[in-house]
Amino acid sequence: MMKNILVTGAAGFIGSHLSEMFVQKGYKVIGLDNLSYGTLQNLSSILGHSQFEFVQGDVRDFKLLLELSSRVDAVVHLAAYKIPRYGNALETLDVNVKGIENVLKVSQKVRCRVIFASTSDVYGKNPNLPYSESSDFCMGSPEIQRWSYAISKILGEHLCFIYSKEHDVRMTILRYFGSYGPRQNLTWWGGPQSIFIDCALKKKAMPIHGDGLQTRSFTYIQDTIEGTLRVLEREEAIGKVINIGNIEEMTILELGKKIWKYVRGSVAPLIEFVPYRQFPGRYEDVRRRIPDVHLAKEILGFTPKTSIDEGLIPTIKWQKSVTKGEGRDDR
């Protein structure tokens, strides 16, 4: 029975929820985060708990990672840079690849399991839906920074497979499809729903990129962490790539309208369409994105169930409370 877990990126959105759940389930958790994007506030419910230890540090710090991982049975590697849309392509490429590389190197030494958080973005603009774990990756031109996130994750996945084949590292790759929920990041980093809720709370126009008819599937955080937990509990998940996502598909525009309705009732939504050409540099969006979740069902006995309506309500409630806390509530 696994009892000790290291979570990298523990102070982030997914990391904090996962750490909380591990603690609740009786695991001992070491949470590593450099607090560049994560916050200690996210961990407030477990900071000081006897089963939780927080360490401020960088995943690129090999010695630190080696010391921490020598005390655990598994590393859940979530620490990553996400959105290069507004710059930071270099950080994204660097942090994401060196992070997983270090995790794999230490796990080769201490023989702990590795869970690598990858992303639905690796499927890129592949037009063949839904995406199964063996679908092709379809990237755009290197001049377009947005691909640096997906490319860094693909390279990370390759490193996982190579360490698995050449050094018997027991790894599992999870491709998360757009998680949302309380404690999500309040910028674009946290996804469009985060921005839309903020706008609706402040009665500002919701910025919709392109025509808003691009679709996504949104996975409630409880489902994301449930899937992750099951991976740790099942040996069959070793050596596998598994999609973790909700199959409910919706356009970005519908999402905006829905959020507005939950926040503002019947008042007509304020929407501002932002053409892609207004982004700095070139940008390329992905039109549709839906996971095939058969493998998750088969291996983990699990598929995300929380509907967008069920998930949005607690998310909006939370976001309202923190927005108030900042004294930025609308008058």
Partner 1 sequence: MKTILITGGAGFLGSHLSRALLEKGYRVIVLDDLSHGNIENISDYITSPKFALYRGDVLDKNFLIEISEGVDIIVHFATYKIPREGGFLKTIEVNTKGTETILEVAKERKISVILGSTDDVYGKNPELPFSEESALVIGNSNSIRWSDAISKIYSEQLCFAYQDAYQVPINILRFSIIYGPRQRKDWWGGPLGVFIERALKREPIPIHGDGLQVRNFVYVSDAVEGILRVIEKEEIHGEVFNIGSLDHLRILDLAFQIWSFAGNSGKPEIEFIAYPDLCQDYEDVRIRDMDLTKARYLLNYHPQIGIEEGLKRTIDWFRGCR
* Rounded Cα gap, residues 243 and 227, in angstroms: 9
Binding segment for partner 1 (CB under 8 A), chosen from 46-54, 73-81, 141-149, 269-277, is: 141-149
On the question of a cis peptide bond just before residue 130, with omega within 30 degrees of 0, the verdict is yes
38 closest CA partner among 61, 59, 9: 9
Per rule CB under 8 A, is residue 90 in the interface with partner 1? yes
Candidate list 10, 18, 106, 173; residue touching partner 1; CB under 8 A: 173
Shortest spacing between CB 151 and partner 1, in angstroms: 5
Q: Smaller CB distance to partner 1: residue 39 or 214?
A: 214
Candidate list 26, 48, 50, 166; residue touching partner 1; CB under 8 A: 166
∠ CA(314), CA(320), CA(322), 5° rounding? 105
Binding segment for partner 1 (CB under 8 A), chosen from 14-22, 152-160, 188-196, 285-293, is: 152-160
Shortest spacing between CB 137 and partner 1, in angstroms: 5
Per rule CB under 8 A, is residue 129 in the interface with partner 1? no
Q: Report which DSSP code applies to 277.
A: G
* Rounded Cα gap, residues 151 and 248, in angstroms: 26
* Rounded Cα gap, residues 196 and 144, in angstroms: 25
10 closest CA partner among 67, 62, 68, 88: 68
Per rule CB under 8 A, is residue 154 in the interface with partner 1? yes
List the interface residues with partner 1, window 273-292 (CB under 8 A). 281
Q: How many residues interact with partner 1 (rule CB under 8 A)?
A: 39
Write out the catalytic residue numbers: 149
* Rounded Cα gap, residues 279 and 39, in angstroms: 28
Shortest spacing between CB 53 and partner 1, in angstroms: 32
List the interface residues with partner 1, window 243-272 (CB under 8 A). none
Candidate list 40, 53, 64, 161; residue touching partner 1; CB under 8 A: 161
Per rule CB under 8 A, is residue 134 in the interface with partner 1? yes
Candidate list 25, 44, 109, 162; residue touching partner 1; CB under 8 A: 162
Task: Encode burial over 289-314: b for 16+ CB neighbours within 10 A, e otherwise.
Answer: bbbbbebbeebbebbbebebeebbee
293 closest CA partner among 113, 75, 76, 120: 120
Shortest spacing between CB 90 and partner 1, in angstroms: 4
Shortest spacing between CB 282 and partner 1, in angstroms: 10
Cβ–Cβ under 8 Å, residues 121 and 178:
no
Candidate list 19, 34, 152, 193; residue touching partner 1; CB under 8 A: 152
* Rounded Cα gap, residues 303 and 12, in angstroms: 23
Helix axes 252-264, 192-201, angle to 10 degrees: 30
Candidate list 78, 83, 97, 112; residue touching partner 1; CB under 8 A: 97
Cβ–Cβ under 8 Å, residues 211 and 287:
no
Binding segment for partner 1 (CB under 8 A), chosen from 6-14, 32-40, 138-146, 305-313, is: 138-146
Candidate list 142, 276, 297, 325; residue touching partner 1; CB under 8 A: 142
The contact set with partner 1 (CB under 8 A) reads: 87, 89-90, 93, 97, 122, 124-126, 133-143, 145, 147-148, 151-152, 154-155, 157-163, 165-166, 173, 241, 281
